[in-house]
Amino acid sequence: MPIAIDMPKMTDTMEEGVLVEWAVEEGDNIAAGDVIAQVETDKATMDVEAYDDGVLLKKVAQAGDSLPIGGLIAILGNEGEDISGLLAEHGTNGTVAAAPPEEPVSVEPKPIPVETAPSGDALPAAGLPTNGRTKASPLARKMASDHGLPLVNLIGSGPGGRIIKRDVQAQIGRAPAPAAAPAPTYVPSDRSVDSVRISQMRKVIARRLAESKYTSPHFYLTADVDVAALITQRTMLNDYLAKSGGPKVSFNDFVTKACASALVQHPDVNVTYAPDDGVILRYNYVDIGVAVAIEDGLVTPVIRDAQQKTVATIAQEIQALAVRARDKKLTPEEMEGSTFTTSNLGMFGIESFTAIINPPNACILAIGGIRDTPVVENGAVVAGKRMKLTLSCDHRVVDGAVGAQFMATVKELLESPLSLLLQT
Amino acid sequence: MAELQLREAIRAAMVEEMDRDEDIFLMGEEVAEYNGAYKVSEGMRDRYGDRRVIDTPISENGFAGLGLGAAMNGLRPIIEFMTWNFAFVAMDQLVNNAAKIRYMSGGQFSFPIVFRGPNGAAGQLAATHNTSVEALYSCFPGLKVISISNPDDAKGLLKSAIRDDDPVIFLESEFMYGMRGEVSDAEDYTIPIGKARIAKEGDAVTVIGHNKSYWRAMEAAEMLEADGYAAEVIDPRTIRPFDWDTVIASIRKTNRCVIVDESNPFASVASEVAFQIQARAFDDLDAPISRVTAKDTPAPYAKNLIEYYLPSAEDVYRACREVMYLD
Amino acid sequence: MALMTKSAVLHNGQSDVSYDTIETKLPFRKYPGDRFTHSDLGLNVADIGDIYRNMLLQRRFEERSAQMYGRQKIGGFLHLYIGQEAISTGSVYALKPGLDSVITAYRDHGIALALGMSSNECMAELFGRKDGCSKGKGGSMHFFSREKGMFGGHGIVGAHIPVAAGIAFAHRYKNDGGVCVCYLGDGAVWQGSFHETLNLASLYQLPVIYVIENNQYAMGTAVDRAAAETDLFKQATSYKMPGSLVDGMDVFSVCQAMRDHVALARKGQPSLVEIRTYRYRGHSMSDPGKYRTKEELEAKKNEDPILRLKSYIIEHQLITNEALDVLDVEVKAEVAASVTFADESPLPPLEAIYEDVYTQKDFPFLKI
């Protein structure tokens, strides 16, 4: 009997996957465990393995196709086997008409599905793919239209990313009321709009960050750090490392190390607010997520137990992770479970910025660039080197003083960087 | 305000109207000598005699049709069905005659008649004794359908139904006959047909429920109150004609709606209410309309199954939280 | 006034009879044809002319309506009464106009015209026009006239039988002296409503007469193919009411029988009358009539109640042949005029669709 290879669920948040590349051809002999294709999920590009032996009878999905979990990718079996029955079970696009929705009541498993649609009449689970259509409640649509807000600019917090009343209200509250003036007349020109498919990663970024921004009340603490000593220290360290063949250490690595140390001293910042369970989780380890920009998005690989690692080790790990991130080779495990995150836009000449907290963290540190600035020292204006750090805090769990004390420690550590090197 | 049982309120309405109008009579199984299967008509035979309070043999089709003929010829009958489950054998009279003769006669004959009795679930009686008929009869233009949830509405609406010149299907409940409640003792107390009652005001979600489902709606509203949300509960009271204005005004305020209906789901009252809401208040909806109904099966006998079959307050509460995007 | 009259002495609800005293003789009356003369019935020449004209009007009206059906002026079903006119006319002559009530099934043109409803309003109803007796909302099967005591033609077999009991109940309740005559076909006898209602009528002693117009065929099913007991009048015994068998091709027999039964009803005794008749046309316009032979049909035509009355009139030298011909011309002219009237009557306006559903004028109909 031919065997269906379906789109597997590869991450906890995955809803669909894009088949990026085939690793095998029709007619190839496949052994269980062979990689047959690569799939882009919301988090990473991952290998799909065969679980059975056989000949690849048909590639049902083509490179570039997006399939929901359970969608038919390929059919495996013995040479010459009839696969029409198996194909008929799936829709013409290779997907089962609808994934059986999760029912609170247990349903007798069917021995062999013969219908093309599930027998239950339950509503489709929220969040099924929407073919790029913006989902919004009728009220939200009308409110957005009344306020001149394009729906595409809104981020939905409802099921499956549906834009609902509160999402529009939040946007209206932020944006100034639309001007009563008539819309400006445009001179027609040779303009065009490209329509680009929203990637899985983009959808997840959109959803998670919107959720964070709307559910965690953010406040921001900015510290201006004197990095003159850090610059000297870094040069010395890099010279030393160059001799021993190790990779260079960046300012970012120092900041990461400083955060790790400060978080040990201020455990109330190294937390997760979990209201559904009625608890605040306080971690006795520091796993720092480092935001890395990649081709069409952003990932946050995690440095585990950063509090136990030296600056050099941290530097090494971040570099390795960044390379893997850009190659989309990170595994979901490498991106999950941070307790704190840093984000650095200094290399783009950004002096300071505020970042959106990366759930389930309570805080994120936004790192600005080092700049030359006049400073007053002993009553005289002299040239100084400064770096702005801005901490975003979830006020539900981190109060102003707690955040400020943490920032004071980070600043102190960076301004006396030897202490950072002395720490493990 | 007097506190009356539901059965007493229904009886009070009939007695007040029969005292007022000689053309009104009550007919049904066990209504006279036995004093009513559920004691609704207790004492009425003593008061009015066999001429006006009349026992029938078990011939629903026969006495329902007899009532219609009497109405056609100038009387104002009240026909009691021991339960609406037993009226299925009289459906021809209700559907073809009560609802349609006026129309087919070009308005020459009208039917000032009330068919009343308990409707819907009545416990561990299995499938044939647990049917909800409100959606069914509301399908037929020519009929009016009232479904009451408390003694005050029962009295005020039954008096209006008896006075109405059109045929009225009046739905009560075995479970509620003993329920006590304040009843207005205003002289000649009537409640207009076709007007819903806002039982509880709120802005978080609109919950619509009639008959027993009204109480499930109220219980769910209390649970939401504990969560800090004020649900608006509407008892439509009349199913046909339905008071769309009250419901739509509420939806405009809450932007979401849960309909509680102990009928089976397909083509239920909940179905039509949901349709009308989306048609009339599409742009006011922030969530899909939700409904809580009986399961899409015949009613079972076993205690756990019949409890599972019927809408519970917990079901309504969960549906509310869902349309409020709380879960 | 107690509604229930229980003649037998009761013990615990059971009748006090022994197995030895069960009544086996059935008290039925017979009204065969050619037994009653016009003088027996106290009818004068004017009455006879009137009766003849009345029956002829039904015949000519229906012949013309069959033609109009063929011209597509009439839609839906058209069930013709041709051959049964002695029943409608004969029984109406036993009733008090303006007091008594009549209700029938879907073969209702004859009784409507017999009751004095105009050819114009009846033909306009068949045409589906505004001036029809039911404003064009009922059609062939649903002729009504409150004024003439016509409580309707009813399209569902057996559905009107309980309604008749209710009409009689109201006569009795109001004590206005009126009675209700309910016509039904031989097919309706086997509906449960017939049996439920005869029991109720007898139990409550309602002033109602159930008249079975036995035209031998329920649509295409002959009586003996549907009935275990083909003497339909015998059903009366189960409900402890008088029953009669009447020759429905003789208008005088019908009239006499109905007078006797109406008299019983006025005293609060319901009863059952079986009138045997014959329908010359198909069940409806679409009926090819394959269930009976041409010979049978031809034989029955010799019994045509109108020809039979005409022979009686000539034989008894009551009215001249020429005068009867003039009557026929007059009736044909009336029917022709009704066709013109119906044709010229406007169609019901579309807004009329919402009228007459409820007495309530502002009922909020769903329009979406």
DSSP sequence for B264-298: -STT-HHHHHHHHHHHHHGGG-SS--EEEE--SSP
Q: What is the pLDDT of residue A97?
A: 43
Tell me: pLDDT of C218 over 90.
no
In chain C, positions 272-331, which contact chain B (CB-CB < 8 Å)?
Answer: none
Instruction: Identify all chain C residues contacting B104, using CB atoms and an 8 Å cutoff.
Output: 134, 137-138, 142, 144, 152
Indicate yes or no: CB of C146 within 8 angstroms of CB of B108. Answer: yes
Residue C307 has pLDDT above 80, yes or no: yes
- Residue C145 to chain B, least CA–CA distance (Å): 7
A381-420 per-position pLDDT tens digit: 888 999 999 999 999 999 999 999 999 999 999 998 887 8
Say whether both A288 and A160 belong to one domain: no
> Is B202 in the same domain as B309?
yes
Question: Per the domain annotation, does A168 fall within a domain?
Answer: yes
Domain ranges, residue A412: 216-422
More confident residue, C359 or C284: C359
Structural domain count, chain B: 2
Q: Which CATH superfamily is domain C25-344 in?
A: Thiamin diphosphate (ThDP)-binding fold, Pyr/PP domains (3.40.50.970)
Q: Which of B73, B92, B280 sits opposite C156 (nearest CB)?
A: B92
Residues A354 and A294 in one domain: yes
Euclidean distance between CA atoms A59 and A77, whole angstroms: 12
Using CB atoms, list chains with 3+ pairs below 8 Å to chain C. B
Least Cα separation, residue B249 to chain A (angstroms): 14
Q: Which residues of C touch B67 (CB under 8 A)?
A: 166
Return the HEC string of chain C: CCCCCCCCCEECCEECCCHHHCCCCCCEEEECCCCCCCCCCCCCHHHHHHHHHHHHHHHHHHHHHHHHHHCCCCCCCCCCCCCCHHHHHHHHCCCCCCCCEEECCCCCHHHHHHCCCCHHHHHHHHCCCCCCCCCCCCCCCCCCECCCCECCCCCCCCCHHHHHHHHHHHHHHHCCCCCEEEEEEHHHHHCHHHHHHHHHHHHHCCCEEEEEEECCEECCEEHHHHCCCCCHHHHHHHCCCCEEEEECCCHHHHHHHHHHHHHHHHCCCCEEEEEECCCCCCCCCCCCCCCCCHHHHHHHHCCCHHHHHHHHHHHCCCCCHHHHHHHHHHHHHHHHHHHHHHHHCCCCCHHHHHCCCCCCCCCCCCCC
Instruction: Check whether residue A295 and residue A374 sit in a common domain.
Output: yes
Q: In chain A, which residues have their Cβ closer than 8 Å to the Cβ of B283?
A: 138-139, 141-142
pLDDT in tens, C103-119: 999 999 999 999 999 99
What pLDDT, on the 0 to 100 scale, is given for residue B210?
Answer: 98
* Same-domain status, B40 and B153: yes
**B223 and B170 inside one domain:** no
Asked whether residue B136 falls in the same domain as residue B220, the answer is no
Are residues B26 and B146 located together in one domain of the fold? Answer: yes
Min Cα distance C134 → chain B (Å) is 4
C159 touches chain B (CB under 8 A): yes
Look up residue B157 and give its two tokens: 């609406």
Nearest in space to C241 (alpha carbons), one of C292, C200, C290: C200
Minimal C-alpha gap between B263 and chain A (Å): 17
Q: What is the mean pLDDT of residues A230-254?
A: 85
Residue-number span of the structural domain to which B120 is assigned = 2-183
Cβ–Cβ gap C174/B164 under 8 Å: no
Contact C355 B107 (CB under 8 A): yes
Does the CB of A158 have a partner CB in chain B at under 8 Å?
Answer: yes
For the ranges A98-102, A226-230, C166-170, the lowest mean pLDDT is seen at A98-102
Overall domain count for chain A: 3
Overall pTM surpassing 0.80 (yes/no):
no
- Any B CB within 8 A of C163 CB: yes
How far off is chain B from A137, nearest CA to CA, in Å? 5
| Shared domain check, A141 and A279 | no
Quick check: C357 and B62 CB within 8 A?
Answer: no
Query: Would you tell me which residues 43-62 of chain A have a C-beta closer than 8 angstroms to some C-beta of chain B?
Result: none
CA distances from residue A165 to A141, B225, C165 in whole angstroms, order as listed = 9, 21, 61
Determine whether the interchain pair B286/A164 forms a contact, defined as Cβ–Cβ distance below 8 Å: yes
- Mark whether A69 and A143 lie in a shared domain: no
User: C200 and B56 in contact by Cβ < 8 A?
Assistant: yes
**How far out from the chain centre does Cα C88 lie?**
5
Contact B93 C162 (CB under 8 A): yes
Q: Do C134 and B106 touch (CB under 8 A)?
A: yes
pLDDT at site A96: 45
pLDDT of B5 reads 97
Q: Are residues B151 and B243 in the same domain?
A: no
Summarize pLDDT for A319-350 with one digit per residue, the tens.
Answer: 888 888 888 888 888 888 899 999 999 888 89
Query: How close B233 gets to chain A, by Cα (Å)?
Result: 21
- Residue A162: which CATH number? 4.10.320.10
A137:B285 CB<8 A: yes
Mean per-residue pLDDT, C70-84? 92
Residue-wise pLDDT for B199-258, tens only, equals 999 999 999 999 999 999 999 999 999 999 999 999 999 999 999 999 999 999 999 999
Task: Answer yes or no: do B143 and B284 share one domain.
Answer: no
Q: Which of C174, C196, C360 sits opposite B62 (nearest CB)?
A: C196
- What is the complex's ipTM, to 2 decimals? 0.95
Is A229 within a domain?
yes
pLDDT for the residue numbered A182: 53
pLDDT in tens, chain B (327 residues): 889 999 999 999 999 999 999 999 999 999 999 999 999 999 999 999 999 999 999 999 999 999 999 999 999 999 999 999 999 999 999 999 999 999 999 999 999 999 999 999 999 999 999 999 999 999 999 999 999 999 999 999 999 999 999 999 999 999 999 999 999 989 999 999 999 999 999 999 999 999 999 999 999 999 999 999 999 999 999 999 999 999 999 999 999 999 999 999 999 999 999 999 999 999 999 999 999 999 999 999 999 999 999 999 999 999 999 999 998
- Whether B190 is in a domain gets the answer no
Q: Which of A24, A55, A89 is the last residue of a domain?
A: A89
Q: Which of B50, B64, B104 sits opposite C4 (nearest CB)?
A: B50
Nearest to B255 among A158, A159, A165 (CB): A165
**Mean pLDDT computed over every residue of chain A:** 82
Q: Is the pLDDT of residue A176 over 60?
A: no
Chains C and A touch (3+ CB pairs under 8 A): no
The CATH number of the domain holding residue A414 is: 3.30.559.10
- Could you say which of A121, A139, A141 has the minimum Cβ distance to residue B255? A139
Confidence of residue A128 (pLDDT cuts 50, 70, 90): very low
Are residues A150 and A228 part of one domain? no
Tens of pLDDT along C177-207?
999 999 999 999 999 999 999 999 999 999 9
Catalytic (active site) residue A90? no
Predicted confidence band of residue A111 (pLDDT cuts 50, 70, 90): very low
Q: What's A18's domain CATH number?
A: 2.40.50.100
Using a CB-CB cut-off of 8 Å, the residues of chain C touching B74 are 170, 174
Cα–Cα distance measured from residue B134 to residue B172, given in angstroms and rounded to the nearest whole number: 11
* Measured CA angle at C230 (ends C226, C232), to 5 deg: 105
Query: A161: nearest CA in chain B?
Result: B325
pLDDT at residue C8, rounded to an integer? 45
Matching residue, tokens 């009691």: B80
Residues 326-355 of C with CB under 8 A from B: 355
pLDDT(A180) > 70: no
Cβ contact, residue pair B286, A121, below 8 Å: no
CA C150, C155, C158: angle at the middle one, nearest 5?
Answer: 90
Identify the chains in contact with B, defined as 3+ C-beta pairs within 8 A: A, C
Instruction: Tell me which chain B residue has its CA closest to the CA of residue C170.
Output: B70
Each residue of C42-57: pLDDT tens digit?
Answer: 999 999 999 999 999 9
Q: Is residue A193 part of a domain?
A: no
Which pLDDT score, from 0 to 100, does residue A208 have? 85
Contacting residues of B for A211, CB less than 8 Å apart: none
Specify the CATH number for the domain of residue B292. Answer: 3.40.50.920
Do B220 and B174 share a domain, yes or no? no
Q: How many CB atoms lie within 10 A of CB B23?
A: 16
In a domain, A295, yes or no: yes
Task: Please give the Cα distance from B111 to B99 (Å, whole number).
Answer: 9
Domain assignment present for residue B288? The answer is: yes
Residue A81 placed within a domain: yes
Residue A143 sits in the same domain as residue A231:
no
Preferred mutation among B105, B240, B273 to probe C, highest tally of C CBs within 10 A: B105
Confidence category of residue A278, pLDDT binned at 50, 70, 90: confident
Instruction: Tell me the mean pLDDT in the region A63-87.
Output: 85
Report, as residue numbers or ranges, the catalytic residues of B. 60, 129
Tell me which of A90, A147, A218, A395 is the catalytic residue. A395
Interchain CB contact of C101 with B (< 8 Å): yes
Q: Report domain extents, chain C.
A: 25-344
Q: Is the pLDDT of residue A120 over 70?
A: no
**Which of A152-161, A187-196, A208-217 shows the highest mean pLDDT?**
A208-217
pLDDT at A125 (0 to 100): 40
Domain-located, residue A305: yes
| Contact residues on chain B for C145, CB-CB shorter than 8 A | 108
Q: Looking at the complex, does the CB of residue A142 fall below 8 Å from at least one CB of chain B?
A: yes
Tell me, yes or no, if A160 comes closer than 8 A to chain B by beta carbon.
Answer: no
CATH number, residue B91: 3.40.50.970
Same domain, B243 and B284: yes
* Co-location of A34 and A155 in the same domain: no
Q: Judge: A142–B283 Cβ closer than 8 Å, yes or no.
A: yes
Whether residues A168 and A235 fall in one domain: no
Q: Looking at the structure, do residues B156 and B214 belong to the same domain, yes or no?
A: no
Same-domain status, B148 and B224: no
Decide if pLDDT at A130 tops 70: no
The mean pLDDT of chain C is 92
How far apart (Å, rounded) are the C-alpha atoms in residues A251 and A342?
12
